[in-house]
């Protein structure tokens, strides 16, 4: 099984790390999830986002960003 590189920013005002990480872990078990500042502060101030396997994925809500990011999971 391929490992996914998933990154979320703990400084983002639109994401709650406790729920975000739990949702991602449930949807993408055995993936590497890194939490920390992504130095992407412009978009981070405006919208929820997730980096997944090198792609920046944004959504109107935390759930939408996670849902859109699932398309890029390695299986």
d(CA 13, CA 11): 6
- CA distances to 20, 22, 41 from 28, rounded to whole Å, are 12, 10, 26
pLDDT of residue 2: 58
Residue 60 pLDDT level (bands cut at 50, 70, 90): very high
- For 3, the token pair is 């490992």
- pLDDT 10s digits, 16-52: 888 999 999 998 888 889 998 877 777 777 888 899 9
pLDDT of residue 1: 53
12 has a pLDDT exceeding 60: yes
CA 19 from centre of chain: 11
- CA distances to 10, 55, 62, 72 from 16, rounded to whole Å, are 8, 20, 8, 21
pLDDT of residue 27: 87
């Amino acid at each position: 099984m391929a490992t996914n590189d998933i990154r979320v920013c703990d400084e983002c005002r639109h994401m709650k790390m406790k729920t975000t990480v739990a949702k991602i872990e449930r949807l993408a078990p055995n993936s590497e999830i890194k939490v920390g500042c992504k130095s992407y502060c412009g978009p981070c101030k405006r919208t929820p986002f997730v980096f997944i396997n090198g792609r920046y994925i944004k959504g109107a809500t935390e759930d939408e960003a996670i849902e859109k990011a699932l398309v890029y999971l390695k299986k």
